[in-house]
Amino acid sequence: MPNAIQVLYESTTSPNSRRVRFFIAEKGIHIDRNPVDLSAKEQFSEAYTAVNPRSQVPTLALADGTVITEVLAIWRYLEEVYPSAPLLGTNSKTQALVTMWERRAELDGFAPVMEGVRNVIAGLKGRALSGPHAYEQIPELVESSRQRVANFFADFNARLATVPFVAGDEFSAADITTLVTVDFSANALKMSIPEKHSAFRQWYGRVSSRPGVGA
Amino acid sequence: MPNAIQVLYESTTSPNSRRVRFFIAEKGIHIDRNPVDLSAKEQFSEAYTAVNPRSQVPTLALADGTVITEVLAIWRYLEEVYPSAPLLGTNSKTQALVTMWERRAELDGFAPVMEGVRNVIAGLKGRALSGPHAYEQIPELVESSRQRVANFFADFNARLATVPFVAGDEFSAADITTLVTVDFSANALKMSIPEKHSAFRQWYGRVSSRPGVGA
């Protein structure tokens, strides 16, 4: 098997790594992990940049030397190789809807939480975006990010008042990104789903017992 | 066919619409189009928000009433319904690599061009992000966006010095996003691929004859 999976490079403190660990746990599969210590800046080490020159986690390394980065790309690989249980939809329509709602969770929720965090933390001065290039922090983004997260909570509450799961009737990768976003926001921005958004809070209770939550 | 496609709402001035038109042309299929006049702010009209409350284009409407927004979701639907010619990869590995490189083109190229545009144009004051919510422009983002686009040109030049197409050996959706980004940047930011990045410029020449370019 030239395309066999060798190892997943990831970090317990990285929310993007959590999206992949969650996905793997929902599949009920085992993949070897190689921890990357972000607090020790191990992602910039010679050993790790030889694997991923962008110094980001997670990274999935295949036995044939192929390196797959980006959560969506790693998910796609795993979904094709381990189709059960499906997390990216099962027909043309549900695949499209999972893609759409997962993206909304990411662009409207996950991305602003990340932006709010990276533009405020002293230790990330000059590193406002992850990746190989240096960018200065822009303090104005902190407030706009918080506004975006508040709107995300309201919009997803409206959505979850009409369907049991983010993309519709079935649990999917859209729920994974949403749950990781909610926890990341509570932890890093101290912003939790407001009390008044009861449908969103009920959804959170519903998905909290999923096998992948603790992964 | 309950899932038959009814119509694509799109605009000739929207680069995201162009990503979908390009994809459709590469498939050699026909889909009815309903133009949305962004210069007349038709995306905020009652008729259009009844279709897509987020006031964004493109939107793919199915005959059963399903509304699919987000370029990646529309592409996924079309790829499943019209598998030939494949534009999102053909096996687990190429699907992952197309996903990864398309995303880099979007996050490192397309997104900063859009950010640079939306935070500077007078007509977009209070509309720094598309979608249903109002966000103020942040002038500091204009310069950081231009930095990001310059880095995108350099990084993709390095990539295209090693492979004929963005995701590897075959033309894919990653090339579509990259080409749309290059033209969008030249047009809206007056930033073109620098002369020194000859591999990227050669790639541009190579893909300029694709059936989808003029779509």
Alpha carbon of A96: minimum distance to chain B alpha carbons (Å)? 5
CB A170 within 8 A of CB A26: no
Residue A74 to residue B95, Cβ atoms within 8 A: no
- pLDDT score recorded for residue B164: 98
pLDDT at B174 over 60: yes
What count of CB pairs under 8 Å joins A to B? 101
Distances (CA, A) of A113 to A142, A152, A171, A188, B133: 9, 10, 23, 8, 17
pLDDT at A20 over 70: yes
Cβ-based contacts of B74 with chain A (< 8 Å): 96
Q: Chain-wide mean pLDDT for chain A?
A: 95
Cβ-based contacts of A92 with chain B (< 8 Å): 3, 76-77, 80-81
Distances (CA, A) of A102 to A98, A168, B177: 6, 11, 19
The pLDDT of B146-172, averaged and rounded, is 98
Cβ-based contacts of A144 with chain B (< 8 Å): 128, 135-136, 138
Element (H, E) at A62: strand A59-62
Alpha carbon of A76: minimum distance to chain B alpha carbons (Å)? 6
Higher per-residue confidence, B190 vs B122: B190
As a whole number of angstroms, the distance between CA A142 and CA A113 comes to 9
pLDDT at A188 over 80: yes
Alpha carbon of A22: minimum distance to chain B alpha carbons (Å)? 18
Set out the domains of chain A in order of their start, with CATH numbers. 5-81 (3.40.30.10), 92-207 (1.20.1050.10)
Question: Residue B102: closest CA among chain A residues belongs to which residue?
Answer: A73
Question: Angle at which helices B140-160 and B111-118 pack, to 10 degrees?
Answer: 160
CB A153 within 8 A of CB A199: no
Q: Among A62, A69, A93, select the one facing B3 at the smallest CB separation.
A: A93
The residue type found at A115 is E
- Per-residue pLDDT of A63-88, as tens digits, reads 999 999 999 999 999 999 999 999 99
Q: Among A72, A76, A133, select the one facing B151 at the smallest CB separation.
A: A133
Cβ-based contacts of A141 with chain B (< 8 Å): 138, 141
Token pair for A29: 């599969």
As a whole number of angstroms, the distance between CA B27 and CA B40 comes to 31
Question: Residue A69: closest CA among chain B residues belongs to which residue?
Answer: B100
- pLDDT score recorded for residue A2: 47
Distances (CA, A) of A185 to A16, A117, A127, A177, B46: 13, 9, 20, 12, 34
Residue B135 to residue A155, Cβ atoms within 8 A: no
Residue B70 to residue A103, Cβ atoms within 8 A: yes
Burial tier of A136 (Cβ tally within 10 Å: 0-12, 13-18, 19+): middle
pLDDT at A41 over 80: yes
Q: Chain-wide mean pLDDT for chain B?
A: 95
pLDDT at A3 over 90: no
pLDDT at B1 over 60: no
The residue type found at B117 is V
Q: Residue B209: pLDDT band by 50, 70, 90 thresholds?
A: very high
Question: What is the ipTM for the molecules in this complex?
Answer: 0.96
Alpha carbon of B123: minimum distance to chain A alpha carbons (Å)? 19
Residue A96 to residue B76, Cβ atoms within 8 A: yes
- Per-residue pLDDT of B34-67, as tens digits, reads 999 999 999 999 999 999 999 999 999 999 999 9
Residue B129 to residue A148, Cβ atoms within 8 A: yes
The residue type found at A214 is G
Q: Residue B122: pLDDT band by 50, 70, 90 thresholds?
A: confident
DSSP state of A2: T
Alpha carbon of B62: minimum distance to chain A alpha carbons (Å)? 9
As a whole number of angstroms, the distance between CA A95 and CA A72 comes to 13
SS3 A14: coil
